[in-house]
Structure 1
């Protein structure tokens, strides 16, 4: 056992909050350690946003091997950039698995052998999530090369003949459409009554229509229970539906039915850190855990699990802890606007409240909605991608925009315009009466409000 090294700040996990936080502390002259068991940059750079969106952007190409190599090249460049910035700032990087022994001491089982012990005045946990294991009767008897998750599916060396995707959430629909475009037959099994269960039904239904038009088979209200290998080597997945039990055949299966936090090896109880029943670390609005001077950032504290939320967590911690904001100026995660984009083609961008959320949160307000098909948007027609719809949710008495969704070409960019308006307290009337360049997708923000109901 090596001697104990003391640090002002220890960051566990090098995700989109952890790495810049370690750099910020080190640049402030504080002795800082960054502990990472797998690879610098966390999920976003290595298995999440960067590689998946690189693959999706290449989805029309003919050869998967070329896509995979392009993905690897971009991931390598991003990962190297994160590591060089951390080292350049003076951060000590410990590659290994961290486990608390008490509220200040962490034991690190180093990847290259040996154990290091470190003590931190302040500790920041940014260990993220990973795909939840698929729980089907008989799965332990299946060739593991045929059972994929959101990480391993990016490394397949041939397009599956028939990919069965279990889960119709954001990850499931992105990969399902990608592999259909690469030539696979694709079936989605979704246990809920709609795809993307967080979305308003008409938006989810519009996306389902797009995916079906692209040739995907989609089964809603369907639960997979067991799996076996047929005589021809294909997979037989037994499912229960509203019409009874049936068997779905496929060559590969993609598990896209949720994620779980990376907390089980941290020995959090030794530090007095509370978790919820699902294993996520509990925190207050200032990202403080139940243990003094221990903070949590990113996906490991629970949803919403987006890279930009993780980075905003970093900004909050930097302001409150490193820059020592006063009580009256402390930043918090309470009521922050949460944008996200689903990178189907066309994209689904969303900001603020969905209609069902707005009506539940503000029962006293006069809520109105505006829905407009993308086929009414001139620029969408000109670019030959007019599928999808836009939907806005407003407070009719104040003109305040409560939420907005764009399922359409560059939906994330259109959404970002509305997000900016919401951040500035700009009413929907100002967007309606603005002069937008022609031809541009932003022009749709003149017209959608004519459909308020």
Structure 2
């Protein structure tokens, strides 16, 4: 029987990063992955492939603005969707191969098959051919991730009524894509096909899209996407999704009881994700699964079985790849006797539409709910020289700071390169910077990052310089 200090079940960003850190710390480590490629949802059917398609479709969108830059291109633009999909797959394959290289480099043993518990110290690997192998595990880390959720009355045929997985490999650009759910996944993939020529309608139960983020970001993103041609039906509850041949009919009811009917050739169901513990046999190891389907953990991410830990989408908290990575590292270091920590308030959230949306810390709505006195400062991208030079004037940066101490409590932004700019906000808040601290930092000119400095100035006695 193979014996290991640590067995990781699942090779997504949380799992493989945790395995690497365990190996770095001298622990004999194995990782189990049921699919033939490493990387989990993020690398294979999530973060990486969606960003590849967003990049390809962004080029199409940019071509529509070439003329204003004095660039003339003759003839009609031709879109080869299959070539885009093929390029996406090449990026996925390269990235997955990179994870395999890291496993080999760090001498991590990889087992292909489904990992399940026989007991708290024995993990069975069931291979595709039905054969099994038993691993002796001093410690186990559950990193099995999540799967797309649906609604009870929706039949996902994965042809016309699809999830994000199928949306990443369509054979044609939809004529009318109806997106059910106005969260990150729905908006990102909706924008991909909007750029490629599809009509896109988004149906959202909440009163605004990206409802978990600051309302100012939701308002600005909605305005920009409407300008691009996307249609929104917020405060609408989907009642039925019916397919008849190539036609999908989505019916939804608003708060007044009025029914709308949208007819499209595809319906993308993007109503969130659920923790994936199918086939894990957690009960055999004494691991408790909550009513929400999550693995129950304490502050050290330790399950109800003392030698078993869980990380990422399968436990409480935001379902983010980088959150899973941080948790994977924390567990590895805890097992090695160190005292790591994670400040969950400082894990940023990003929407990779264009303009990008990013945020860290508390929203204005959360501060109001908690009764925390705060001051706010915002600055529009249109007032930036770099933004005008780049024709990227949509967006803003908003900074929330404690009314008494001036400590930054939240930074929210929408605009070009927001996904990268948010790192400055995380660093500042990690070191408990005040709005004035940020306002006195020199920011290179002309850059998009100047919007952060100006928003900090606006939050500090309303003294932004360029508005």
Q: Does residue 94 of structure 2 align to residue 87 of structure 1?
A: no
CA RMSD across the alignment: 1.9
Report how many residues are paired: 439
**1:86 match: secondary structure:** helix
Q: Indicate which of 180, 184, 200 corresponds to 1:186.
A: 200
Match of 1:339 in 2: 348
**2:404 match: secondary structure:** coil
In structure 2, C-alpha distance between the alignment counterparts of 1:384 and 1:291, rounded to whole Å: 55
**1:75 match: secondary structure:** helix
Which range is displaced more, 179-188 or 194-203? Answer: 194-203
Match of 1:33 in 2: 30
Q: Does residue 154 of structure 2 align to residue 145 of structure 1?
A: no
**2:17 match: secondary structure:** helix
**1:212 match: secondary structure:** helix
Match of 1:393 in 2: 400
1:19 CA drift (Å): 1.6
In structure 1, C-alpha distance between the alignment counterparts of 2:391 and 2:90, rounded to whole Å: 31
**1:311 match: secondary structure:** helix
Alignment of 1:71-82 (within 5 A): 71-82=88-99
Match of 1:221 in 2: 235
Match of 1:240 in 2: 253
Q: Does residue 315 of structure 2 align to residue 301 of structure 1?
A: yes
Distance 1:193 1:444, change over 3 A: same
**2:289 match: secondary structure:** coil
In structure 2, C-alpha distance between the alignment counterparts of 1:27 and 1:444, rounded to whole Å: 39
1:28 CA drift (Å): 4.9
Q: Indicate which of 81, 84, 102 corresponds to 2:119.
A: 102
Q: Indicate which of 125, 136, 140 corresponds to 2:142.
A: 125
In structure 2, C-alpha distance between the alignment counterparts of 1:286 and 1:251, rounded to whole Å: 47
Alignment of 1:52-71 (within 5 A): 52-59=50-57, 60-61=59-60, 62-71=79-88
**1:58 match: secondary structure:** helix
Contact 1:285 1:332 in 2 (8 A): no
In structure 2, C-alpha distance between the alignment counterparts of 1:319 and 1:194, rounded to whole Å: 40
Match of 1:316 in 2: 330
Contact 2:367 2:373 in 1 (8 A): no
In structure 2, C-alpha distance between the alignment counterparts of 1:79 and 1:360, rounded to whole Å: 43
Structure 1: give runs of 5+ residues left out of the alignment.
none
**2:346 match: secondary structure:** coil
Contact 1:100 1:268 in 2 (8 A): yes
Q: Does residue 384 of structure 2 align to residue 382 of structure 1?
A: no
**1:270 match: secondary structure:** helix
TM-score normalised per structure 2 = 0.89
Which range is displaced more, 267-276 or 334-343? Answer: 334-343
In structure 2, C-alpha distance between the alignment counterparts of 1:450 and 1:426, rounded to whole Å: 13
Q: Does residue 58 of structure 2 align to residue 44 of structure 1?
A: no
Deviation per residue, 1:370-398 (Å, 9 max, x gap): 13322222221221121122211101221
Contact 2:345 2:362 in 1 (8 A): no
Match of 1:172 in 2: 186
Which range is displaced more, 437-446 or 253-262? Answer: 437-446
Contact 1:189 1:218 in 2 (8 A): yes
Distance 1:152 1:382, change over 3 A: same
TM-score normalised per structure 1 = 0.92
Deviation per residue, 1:67-99 (Å, 9 max, x gap): 211111111011011112213433222111122
1:214 CA drift (Å): 0.6
Distance 1:335 1:99, change over 3 A: closer
